[in-house]
Structure 1
Amino acid sequence: MKNFKLILFVLLLAFVLVGCNSSTDSDNESENESNNDSSSEETDNDEGSEEGTSGGTLKIAIDGPPPTLDQPVSTATAARDAARFVFEGLMTTDADFNAVPMLAESVDTEDNQTYTFKLREGIKFHNGEEMTAEDVVASMYRWMEISTVTGNVFKDATWTAEDDYTVVLELANPSSLTLDTLASAKQAAGIMPKEIVENAPVEGVDEYIGTGPFKFEEWKQDQYIHYTKFEDYQPLDTPASGLSGKREALVDEVYLYIVPDTSTRIAGLQTGEYDFAYGVPYDYYDQINADENLETILTPSSNQMIGFNNLEGISTNPEIRKAINMIIDSNEVMLGAFPNPEFFWLDSGYMDMNITPWYTEAGKEHYNQANVEEAKKILDEFGYDGEEIKFLATRDYDHHYNTSVIVTEQLKQAGLNVTLEIYDWPTVLDIQGNRPSEWDMYMTSASTVSTPPQLIGLSPRFGGVYPEVSELISSIETAPTQEEAFEYWEELQGKLWEEYLPIVHIGGYNALYGHNTKVKGLETSTGPIFWNVTVSE
């Protein structure tokens, strides 16, 4: 099929296909849909403190409320971005995604099993108390209990406060992934006061007190979250790089306005009501760029993928998954789903190409095959007889919907009986997670992570258990060196494409943000960074 036919098909079907309830609430971007940026990019080379005016208020329009600011509890992008104003961890990542100290002054290990963290002294929490080793130990035990990124690396690990400024981590087994996992922005290991950690309700802390450059002031439900400059903040003296280095609150206040309606968000950006906007639809790209008072930011974000149900139903058969993967023409899909080739890229890597220590092209010969005839042979050998394949998708995200429509048409033309079932995003997640008899495949996205075990597409929670995958993930997590861990990962990615296919990886895409030209010093690294930023009058 020619590209323009599929694009026309998307536009026509958008008028006739009826969804089952639409939602724009961005806290539905759970572990499977998070617009994490996969590279660190400076979007204005001017130093904010030189070009802008320090002080004032930064007004940010977000497309939905975060479920919480308690980092370990939630995988939502909105929670990650809203919490980073307030909380910091022992480690973070620089512009090249290297794990580097943040609240730790240094970290030492000789065997990748015992780690000694020397803490920075004089670091104050927003309640005025000094951070000590006891706060770190309490926070780390809670993080290990709640966060899903810790995996086997931190299983049965112990944390000990040797003195007020020294913390020792003892792993059950050596792992080269330790510091990268501690530095992850996803379900981050933020440090809180011990008393808050120990008294935290099961559903998450209700006092947001950290060490970050801004402190939490107020959350007015469905309206805004308000932060103010933390006057006692102690920045690092190293140059800013990614999420690392010097952080300065150069504005006095920040408001995250919750604006789920797209037209209202964009209109507010254009009139100056908001300084920065999340969730800018790709159709507005040219319009915003044509406005001399506005600028856009395109930055690598997530990967489009289809997840398979390996618990029950027709997709538990690997031959069906192989046939579907063989049919899909990724180039055609991405051209139809995104209105401009600048917005996406094609790549076979499960790990983002910017995460260079983990990037591999293993198995790439099985990516983007677009080989319908060979797929039909597989289906004939399998004995496929027109059984229904239920495909879950949503209209809450245009790129999800457009991708699902085009993939459905490709599969139908190859002879598969695919039913595209459209729901709001929370319902998709509910069906996918709790009702395995009601779906066979579903459309989603996955954000960039720093190590392969954090890939949601490989989690048993994603669509079912793949024992061989779990075994190799465990080998990666417990490998004593990065070199050995990478060998296991390269082996696994090859097998994921050739044998297991828990997902079909289609392609990567950029997130689109907009801001007015008064804002100086903006950077992105796993989301926009709002410290070191000024707003001129």
Structure 2
Amino acid sequence: MKVINKTLLLMFLAVLLVLAACSNNDDNSSDNNSEGSNDNNESSGEQTAGGDLQFVLNTQPPTIDPIMSTATATRDISRHIYETLVTIDSAYEPQPMLAESWEISEDGLTYTFNLREGIKFHNGEEMTADDVVASMNRWLERSSTAQSLIGEGTFEEVDKYTVELKLQEPSIFVLLALGGTLQFPGIMPKEIVEAATETGVEEHIGTAPFKFVEWKQDQYVHLEKFEDYTPREETADGLAGERIAYFDNVYINFVPDPNTQLGGVTTGQYHIGHGMSYDMFDQLESAEDVEAVAPIIGQYGIVFNKFEGQFAEVKMRQAVNAALNLEDIANAALGGKYRMSSSYMQVEQEAWASTEGEELYNNPDPDKVQALLDEINYDGEPLTFITSREYSYMYDSAVIIKEQLEQVGIKVDLEVYDWATVLTLRDDPSKWDLLITGFPMTMTPVEQLFYNDTWIDGPEDEKTEQLLKDIATADTIEEAKVFWDELQGHSWEILPILKISDYTTVMGVNKNIEGFLYLDGPVFWNTSLNQ
């Protein structure tokens, strides 16, 4: 079995960034931050076509319309149904997918995309400029990534196989936004886009190697090999290049119970388990037919409700930060599979990693807590902390955070729900004060969800808004990095979130699986089952 894990590879911007080797020498790093990973991208032999892949997720997504949710479960499924104009290779550089090529005008305001001809949708119709324009303009209107990195823009048809993106202002991040993996701009037939409701598209038709068959709620999503798929000719590299569907069918099974996940993976019922409990890593590692994998996938932390309630006051957020021993939380919740780092961008991203504000990270100070609580006249009103057992690291972290906060006199009501209910409650600011969630890697700081005014945490202050604008409109990466350092330092003062640590996902992969890639989520094309 070959597992290809590219998540730890460098996420540098197009040709503007300098690739550098990943370092594991950070003084604050856990020694276990990537146990079981394998960066070999070569198959051990001839891959076998046919068979069904049984994949297990610990939760089902709220939707599989890729632009309607930032949930990683949405991304992990929808990337196998829909494709984009631009994608990324293993070095996170933009590469063409449904676009054959592109040109950029001298003023940076017009991007011309030449489309691949003869590409079929899953309904048998050919993809043309009409479909691309409809899909991309819907994405521009709804995607927080598009709004933060591109701003005002419109896609227009030039001819049947050519489209243009017209911008109000130039941006050095356009191609990265188009190739991003979260809330990505999947291309769909025009009629499907036009029929979409406020909750998303009602039919799932794309151009990817697998086509949607069925979503059986609370059980599985069934995908089937798309026989008329036309792969690119370039060698596969990351998400770019040739994509081959070896499996006849893919079943993404939703199994919230950790013991059921473990039993299914170790007995061969499931070929790949994803998002498994951290305390099961050693059991996976000792299983005869399973390889245990734990790549770092991003960061996780506390989200504060800044719309209303106690955390609208910055000093209450600062009091929580001063109360917590973050490493104790990470160690208990992640079973040693974490890395302590104050940088909101991962340390491998040398163009963006920052140490600004690190003196405020993981520095508990009970006296400071009491002084801050006195300043705001905290009266003992309990905080409403919502969480779910479906993500063990969230629940385990929440339990420890509650204990630590109550030790310094901050009361907490811990409310435990299924994940779907948490997603519903967090959209209503009157229902919660804080929650735990994970944040996947992003290519630029301005893509971080917690810097978006429309996200669940609430509005940003004026200084943050200005620095985000300065980063997005910078002429060079070097200039943008200066603004980003200032913003990270400011963020540790006002705490849009409270980062706990970089975190991993625990996976068990059957040793008969060949060519499996994990790059910002699992990849089922170019993967096979060899008996």
TM-score, structure 1 length as denominator? 0.86
Q: After TM superposition, give the deviation of residue 384 of structure 1 in Å.
A: 4.3
Q: 1:25 maps to which residue?
A: none
Instruction: From the superposition, tell whether residues 419 and 67 of structure 1 become closer, same or farther in structure 2 (CA, over 3 Å).
Output: closer
Q: 2:89 aligned with 1:89, yes or no? A: no
Query: Take 1:45 and 1:463, find their aligned partners in 2: how far apart are those partners?
Result: 39
Which stretch shows the higher mean deviation, 75-84 or 152-161? 152-161
Q: After TM superposition, give the deviation of residue 308 of structure 1 in Å.
A: 1.9
Instruction: State whether residues 67 and 143 of structure 2, in contact with CA within 8 Å, keep that contact through their aligned partners in structure 1.
Output: yes
Instruction: State whether residues 48 and 534 of structure 1, in contact with CA within 8 Å, keep that contact through their aligned partners in structure 2.
Output: no
Q: 2:232 maps to which residue?
A: 236
Q: After TM superposition, give the deviation of residue 474 of structure 1 in Å.
A: 2.8
Query: Take 2:169 and 2:226, find their aligned partners in 1: how far apart are those partners?
Result: 39
Instruction: Output aligned runs, 1:221-370, within 5 Å.
Output: 221-339=217-335, 341=336, 343-370=337-364
Q: After TM superposition, give the deviation of residue 186 of structure 1 in Å.
A: 0.9
Query: Take 2:81 and 2:421, find their aligned partners in 1: how far apart are those partners?
Result: 31
Q: 1:444 maps to which residue?
A: 437
Query: Take 1:446 and 1:37, find their aligned partners in 2: how far apart are those partners?
Result: 17
Aligned sequence identity (%): 43
Instruction: State whether residues 274 and 507 of structure 2, in contact with CA within 8 Å, keep that contact through their aligned partners in structure 1.
Output: yes
Q: After TM superposition, give the deviation of residue 400 of structure 1 in Å.
A: 1.3
Q: 1:458 maps to which residue?
A: 451
Q: After TM superposition, give the deviation of residue 221 of structure 1 in Å.
A: 3.7
Cα deviation, 1:184-226, whole Å, max 9, x if unaligned, reads 1111101112222223344322322211112223333443322
AA at the equivalent of 1:463:
D
1:203 to 199, 202, 207: 199
Instruction: State whether residues 37 and 511 of structure 1, in contact with CA within 8 Å, keep that contact through their aligned partners in structure 2.
Output: no
DSSP-derived class of the 1:61 partner:
strand
Q: 2:460 aligned with 1:479, yes or no? A: no
Instruction: State whether residues 97 and 355 of structure 1, in contact with CA within 8 Å, keep that contact through their aligned partners in structure 2.
Output: no
DSSP-derived class of the 1:462 partner:
coil
TM-score, structure 2 length as denominator? 0.87
AA at the equivalent of 1:462:
I
DSSP-derived class of the 1:217 partner:
strand
Q: 2:183 aligned with 1:214, yes or no? A: no
AA at the equivalent of 1:459:
N
Instruction: From the superposition, tell whether residues 394 and 259 of structure 1 become closer, same or farther in structure 2 (CA, over 3 Å).
Output: closer
Which stretch shows the higher mean deviation, 489-498 or 426-435? 426-435
Q: After TM superposition, give the deviation of residue 64 of structure 1 in Å.
A: 3.1
Q: 2:108 aligned with 1:146, yes or no? A: no
Q: 2:97 maps to which residue?
A: 102
Instruction: From the superposition, tell whether residues 230 and 121 of structure 1 become closer, same or farther in structure 2 (CA, over 3 Å).
Output: same
Q: 1:503 maps to which residue?
A: 497
Instruction: From the superposition, tell whether residues 201 and 502 of structure 1 become closer, same or farther in structure 2 (CA, over 3 Å).
Output: closer
Instruction: From the superposition, tell whether residues 195 and 383 of structure 1 become closer, same or farther in structure 2 (CA, over 3 Å).
Output: closer
Q: 1:28 maps to which residue?
A: none
Instruction: From the superposition, tell whether residues 482 and 111 of structure 1 become closer, same or farther in structure 2 (CA, over 3 Å).
Output: farther
Query: Take 1:49 and 1:231, find their aligned partners in 2: how far apart are those partners?
Result: 25
Q: 2:491 aligned with 1:491, yes or no? A: no
AA at the equivalent of 1:39:
L
1:403 to 397, 400, 419: 397
AA at the equivalent of 1:159:
F
Q: 1:514 maps to which residue?
A: 508
Q: After TM superposition, give the deviation of residue 418 of structure 1 in Å.
A: 3.8
Query: Take 1:378 and 1:120, find their aligned partners in 2: how far apart are those partners?
Result: 59
Query: Take 2:215 and 2:389, find their aligned partners in 1: how far apart are those partners?
Result: 29
Query: Take 1:513 and 1:334, find their aligned partners in 2: how far apart are those partners?
Result: 18
Q: After TM superposition, give the deviation of residue 98 of structure 1 in Å.
A: 2.0
Q: After TM superposition, give the deviation of residue 65 of structure 1 in Å.
A: 2.9
Instruction: From the superposition, tell whether residues 37 and 527 of structure 1 become closer, same or farther in structure 2 (CA, over 3 Å).
Output: farther
Instruction: State whether residues 71 and 187 of structure 1, in contact with CA within 8 Å, keep that contact through their aligned partners in structure 2.
Output: yes
Instruction: State whether residues 152 and 478 of structure 1, in contact with CA within 8 Å, keep that contact through their aligned partners in structure 2.
Output: no
DSSP-derived class of the 2:409 partner:
coil
Which stretch shows the higher mean deviation, 172-181 or 41-50? 41-50
2:186 to 190, 202, 205: 190
Instruction: State whether residues 210 and 225 of structure 2, in contact with CA within 8 Å, keep that contact through their aligned partners in structure 1.
Output: yes
Instruction: State whether residues 313 and 440 of structure 1, in contact with CA within 8 Å, keep that contact through their aligned partners in structure 2.
Output: yes
How many residue pairs end up in the alignment?
A: 498
Which runs of 5 or more structure 2 residues have no equivalent in the other structure?
Answer: 10-33
AA at the equivalent of 1:64:
T
Instruction: From the superposition, tell whether residues 353 and 164 of structure 1 become closer, same or farther in structure 2 (CA, over 3 Å).
Output: farther
Query: Take 1:383 and 1:146, find their aligned partners in 2: how far apart are those partners?
Result: 40
Q: 2:8 aligned with 1:39, yes or no? A: yes
Cα deviation, 1:119-161, whole Å, max 9, x if unaligned, reads 2233222233322222211110111222232124444312122
DSSP-derived class of the 1:400 partner:
helix
Q: 2:29 maps to which residue?
A: none
DSSP-derived class of the 1:494 partner:
helix
Q: After TM superposition, give the deviation of residue 270 of structure 1 in Å.
A: 2.3
Query: Take 2:181 and 2:275, find their aligned partners in 1: how far apart are those partners?
Result: 20
Higher share of residues assigned helix: 1
Q: After TM superposition, give the deviation of residue 399 of structure 1 in Å.
A: 1.2
Instruction: State whether residues 103 and 112 of structure 2, in contact with CA within 8 Å, keep that contact through their aligned partners in structure 1.
Output: yes
Instruction: State whether residues 150 and 171 of structure 2, in contact with CA within 8 Å, keep that contact through their aligned partners in structure 1.
Output: no
Instruction: State whether residues 38 and 354 of structure 1, in contact with CA within 8 Å, keep that contact through their aligned partners in structure 2.
Output: no
Instruction: From the superposition, tell whether residues 186 and 37 of structure 1 become closer, same or farther in structure 2 (CA, over 3 Å).
Output: farther
Q: After TM superposition, give the deviation of residue 527 of structure 1 in Å.
A: 0.6
Instruction: From the superposition, tell whether residues 184 and 435 of structure 1 become closer, same or farther in structure 2 (CA, over 3 Å).
Output: same
Which stretch shows the higher mean deviation, 180-189 or 152-161? 152-161
Instruction: Output aligned runs, 1:44-55, within 5 Å.
Output: 45=40, 47-48=42-43, 50-55=45-50
Instruction: From the superposition, tell whether residues 420 and 509 of structure 1 become closer, same or farther in structure 2 (CA, over 3 Å).
Output: same
Instruction: State whether residues 7 and 518 of structure 2, in contact with CA within 8 Å, keep that contact through their aligned partners in structure 1.
Output: no
Which runs of 5 or more structure 1 residues have no equivalent in the other structure?
Answer: 1-35
Instruction: State whether residues 55 and 250 of structure 2, in contact with CA within 8 Å, keep that contact through their aligned partners in structure 1.
Output: yes
Q: After TM superposition, give the deviation of residue 51 of structure 1 in Å.
A: 4.3
